[in-house]
Structure 1
Amino acid sequence: MEGTDATNRPTRHRQACQAARIADDYRSRDVVVLDLTGITPIVDYFVVATGTSRRQMQAVADEISRVFKEDGDARLGIEGYGNDSSWILIDFGDIVVHMQDEAARALYDLDRLWADAPRVDWQIATADTSADT
């Protein structure tokens, strides 16, 4: 699946920031949104967060999936949820959420791997969205 067309980018940007806000609300650490538009045609945004426990990472995955489904965006896939994995990946097509424990975050270092990607200031973006409602 290729990245979204220009008309859907504001929606995807908002959703990526919303996923980051959920991860933060559930006490994830080091929450980052990477804007991959223009870097890869595969995905528009990565949301990367460090989970503090397996149960917490699953709760974040559940809540993000629930909110996206309510918005009409069911996930395309999920990996690492039901086993003893240190990484849960949720694929929404143009947005991919990575919930990793501290060791996996350090080992795979997605932030460094995608260092060319601009970081989205999701805290400002979600504050702007909530002010509009």
Structure 2
Amino acid sequence: MNLIEDKLNIIRKAIEDKKGFDIEVLDIKKISSIADYFVIASGNSTSQVLSIVDEIEYKMTSNGYETIAGKEGYSSAKWIILDYDDVVVHIFKKEDREYYNLERLWKEYENILK
């Protein structure tokens, strides 16, 4: 398993452990210089969104991925972004994910979980 696959597996497992849903892993490396992958998932409430993000950070740190390039949206807990350089994680409150429809903006992506 390579470094990126390891990161993706840790992140996905952390989301699943906190009952996050509608998980998508988008391969965007051919169409964007922002990152290689986007991970997008939803939670039903702001407390669940915070719990998911906290679990991702805990598991990433526990597995040696302590460096995070950026973190946005934690105070509102409607859309939180965690930037792990080659993997950017988007955790949404369900209604906000439906509103912003990030997948529509990245329609050229390949969802590697499907």
Same fold (TM over 0.5): yes
Aligned-partner residue type, residue 29 of structure 1: F
The reply on whether 1:76 has 2:62 as its aligned counterpart is no
Query: What secondary structure does 2:19 align onto?
Result: coil
Query: Distance in 2 between the 1:66 and 1:19 partners?
Result: 10
Query: Within 5 A, what are the aligned runs for 1:97-116?
Result: 97-116=89-108
Pairwise CA distance, 1:10 = 3.0
TM-score, normalization: structure 1?
0.76
Query: Distance in 1 between the 2:41 and 2:78 partners?
Result: 12
Partner residue, 2:86: 94
Query: Within 5 A, what are the aligned runs for 1:54-73?
Result: 54-73=46-65
**Structure index of larger Rg:** 1
| Runs of 4+ residues deviating >3 angstroms | none
CA-to-partner distance for each residue in 1:78-111, whole Å, 9 max, x for gaps? 1111x23411111111111111112211121111
CA contact (8 A) 1:30 1:49 kept: yes
TM-score, normalization: structure 2?
0.87
CA-atom RMSD in angstroms: 1.8
Pairwise CA distance, 1:39 = 1.4
The reply on whether 1:40 has 2:32 as its aligned counterpart is yes
Once the two structures are aligned, what percentage of the paired residues are identical?
A: 32
Which has the larger share of strand?
2
CA-to-partner distance for each residue in 1:15-67, whole Å, 9 max, x for gaps? 12321222122111211110112111220111101111111111111111122
Q: How many residues align?
A: 113
Q: Which moved more, 1:113-122 or 1:36-45?
A: 113-122
Query: Distance in 2 between the 1:19 and 1:116 partners?
Result: 23
Query: What secondary structure does 1:98 align onto?
Result: strand
Aligned-partner residue type, residue 75 of structure 1: I
Q: Which of 2, 6, 10 is the equivalent residue of 1:18?
A: 10
Unmatched 5+ stretches in structure 1: 1-8, 123-133
CA contact (8 A) 1:36 1:43 kept: yes
